[in-house]
């Protein structure tokens, strides 16, 4: 992504992460709201997958589909869609942040299998 395009993405949320609202710091990520699938191939020389900058679903690789994101949110979002990511966050909030309030409301925490 060109520097000019990156600046436009940065300004979409006034320099804040589109997901958690934190101020963006050096190393912030450009998230593709609808995930892109990068073309990659295995390099036997490097012993790893490498990308050539192209993607399979090029129609998702545009500025409207890009959100500024802190590294943490982008890594958590991974290749989930926005709805899947919101659902994951909701589950995290329900069972990690408000367990006492929910227990008082009669909810039972799901049992862990491990």
Show the 3-state SS of 9-78.
HHHCCCCECCCCCCECCCCCEEEECCCCCEEEEEECCCCEEEEEEEECCHHHCCHHHEEEECHHHHHHHC
Q: Which residues bind Zn ion (CB under 5 A)?
A: 17, 19-20, 70, 73
The smaller minimum CB distance to Zn ion, of residues 61 and 68, is found at: 68
Q: Give the nearest distance from C-beta 99 to Zn ion in angstroms.
A: 23
Q: Give the nearest distance from C-beta 53 to Zn ion in angstroms.
A: 25
The smaller minimum CB distance to Zn ion, of residues 20 and 37, is found at: 20
The smaller minimum CB distance to Zn ion, of residues 19 and 85, is found at: 19
């Amino acid at each position: 992504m060109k520097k000019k395009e990156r600046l436009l993405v940065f300004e979409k949320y006034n320099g804040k992460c589109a997901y958690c609202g934190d101020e963006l710091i050096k190393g912030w990520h450009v998230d593709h709201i609808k995930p892109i699938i990068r073309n990659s191939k295995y390099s036997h020389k490097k012993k790893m997958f490498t990308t050539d900058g192209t993607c399979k679903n090029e129609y998702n690789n545009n500025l409207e589909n890009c959100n500024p994101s802190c590294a943490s949110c982008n890594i958590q979002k991974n290749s989930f869609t926005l709805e899947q990511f919101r659902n994951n966050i909701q589950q995290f909030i329900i069972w990690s942040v408000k367990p006492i309030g929910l227990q008082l409301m009669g909810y039972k925490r799901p049992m862990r299998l491990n």
